[in-house]
A and B are shown apart, each in its own frame.
Chain A
Amino acid sequence: MEIKALLIIAVNAIFIYNFVLSRFLGICPYIGVSKNIDSAIGMGFAVVFVMTLASMATWLIDFYLLRPTESNIFYILFNFKEPPDLMYLKTIAFILVIASLVQFVEMVIQKMSPGLYKSLGIYLPLITTNCAILGVTLINLDANYSFIASIVHGFTAGLGFTLALVLMAGIRENLDMAPVPKPLKGAPIAFIMASLMSIAFLGFSGLKIG
């Protein structure tokens, strides 16, 4: 695949179809972990990491196990008359892959780099039920991305999530000092801020690319 197409995927994933502000994926951590910049960056990196790995793993699962094509492993192994269509198992297969992946990443990081584990570790268990991860793998599938395109999309969608999260954390650190009406403190004002950020990001949809 040419570089230009990959660049378009990247710009789209970060700005135009930002996972948080335009696609509404990963809202829970967006509100929950955006109280200070340090933890926002930690969470952001954990998401980028897992999203990239998940895009890779689910692409392989989809291509070799689920899709009814000549490269289906069951078709090759068991001499079926025609490739079996197991696409209906995608949801269950993907979520199990993501859950195991998160466990595995947690174990590896704990062994290899205790320092990194200390900063990322607490965010990893939260990631399994972060809908942005399952979301990115399902979007890859819908868009029929190639292996490389899936990885680029997973990585840049994670960057887009991190961007939105860190921006939000920056605003909320200052918001603590602002005289916000009592009923709007916390989540409500965070959503109103998100609305304003989303308006700003809407401007990117006017970008003419391609």
Chain B
Amino acid sequence: MNDIVKLGGILLLFSAIAGGALSVVNAITKPRIELQKKLVLERALTTALPMANKDAIVPVEQDNMLYYKGYKTPDKQDLVGYAFVASGKGYSSTIETMVGVDTTFTITGLSILQQVETPGLGTKIEEVRYGESTPWFQDQFVDKTWNGLAVDKDGGNITSITGATISSRAVTKSIHDGLKQLEATVRQHHSDM
């Protein structure tokens, strides 16, 4: 019995040292990890809303939907568009896309926030072709509205990636659904006013 207490004590001591060391490392890395997350979000917002001032994009929460309002000038007077995060289940991960639209709900830009799809297949949603500077799959969405937005295999206007229909469909459907919801939410709010 005594033996068990002693062994347990040693194990506890080791765990305590480990826990202590980790809390130090956590305290050091935490601000850095949060900064990374913020940077990713900021970069995505500027890609999604190229016409907005990057210091004049503010988050709004309405009817359980979180979205962003983008203004042209830092004094936040002239509204130029909205942005939201669309998320859909891809082949091996949840794909999250930041989507920007102008005030007529026509897509102005998008940026993939998160995906861990199969390299060489699903990851092509972010592929930039040789000689081009922006990802071709995402470029297709620009200037389109939710109406009729679907991959070609479903009779829509987005060319899907060869061998990665699931990923293509996930992105397209999540944007279609999210945009439809955004438009309804925003319009509802405006008619209230």
Looking across the interface, which residue of chain A has its beta carbon closest to that of B91?
A: A205
B166 cross-chain contacts in A, Cβ below 8 A: 205
Contact string, A65-96, partner B, CB cutoff 8 A, digits 1/0?
00000000000000000000000110010001
Contact indicator A92/B91 (Cβ below 8 Å): no
Least Cβ distance of B127 to chain A in Å? 21
CB-contacts of B160-175 with A (<8 A): 166
Contact indicator A89/B91 (Cβ below 8 Å): no
A159 CA to B23 CA in the complex, in Å? Answer: 37
A96-B91 in contact given A88-B22, A205-B166 (Cβ < 8 Å)? no
Contact indicator A96/B26 (Cβ below 8 Å): no
A92 cross-chain contacts in B, Cβ below 8 A: 15, 18-19, 22
Q: How many residues of A contact B (CB 8 A)?
A: 6
A126 CA to B156 CA in the complex, in Å? Answer: 52
A168 CA to B66 CA in the complex, in Å? Answer: 48
CB-contacts of A161-175 with B (<8 A): none
Residue in B15, B26, B91, B92 whose CB lies within 8 Å of A88:
B26
A88, A89, A92, A96 interface centre (most CB from chain B within 10 Å): A88
A205 cross-chain contacts in B, Cβ below 8 A: 91, 166
A89 cross-chain contacts in B, Cβ below 8 A: 19, 22
Looking across the interface, which residue of chain A has its beta carbon closest to that of B94?
A: A143
Least Cβ distance of A135 to chain B in Å? 14
Least Cβ distance of B29 to chain A in Å? 9
Contact indicator A96/B15 (Cβ below 8 Å): yes
A96 CA to B26 CA in the complex, in Å? Answer: 20
B22 cross-chain contacts in A, Cβ below 8 A: 88-89, 92
B92 cross-chain contacts in A, Cβ below 8 A: 17
A17 cross-chain contacts in B, Cβ below 8 A: 92
A88 cross-chain contacts in B, Cβ below 8 A: 22-23, 25-26
A14 CA to B166 CA in the complex, in Å? Answer: 19
Contact string, A186-210, partner B, CB cutoff 8 A, digits 1/0?
0000000000000000000100000
B23 cross-chain contacts in A, Cβ below 8 A: 88
Looking across the interface, which residue of chain B has its beta carbon closest to that of A208?
A: B166
B19 cross-chain contacts in A, Cβ below 8 A: 89, 92
B91 cross-chain contacts in A, Cβ below 8 A: 205
CB-contacts of A94-113 with B (<8 A): 96
CB-contacts of B8-38 with A (<8 A): 15, 18-19, 22-23, 25-26
A88 CA to B92 CA in the complex, in Å? Answer: 24
A17 CA to B91 CA in the complex, in Å? Answer: 10
A92 CA to B14 CA in the complex, in Å? Answer: 12
Looking across the interface, which residue of chain A has its beta carbon closest to that of B165?
A: A206
**14 A-B pairs (CB sep. < 8 Å):** A17-B92, A88-B22, A88-B23, A88-B25, A88-B26, A89-B19, A89-B22, A92-B15, A92-B18, A92-B19, A92-B22, A96-B15, A205-B91, A205-B166
Sorted nearest first, the 4 A-B pairs with minimum C-beta distance are A88-B26, A88-B22, A92-B18, A89-B22
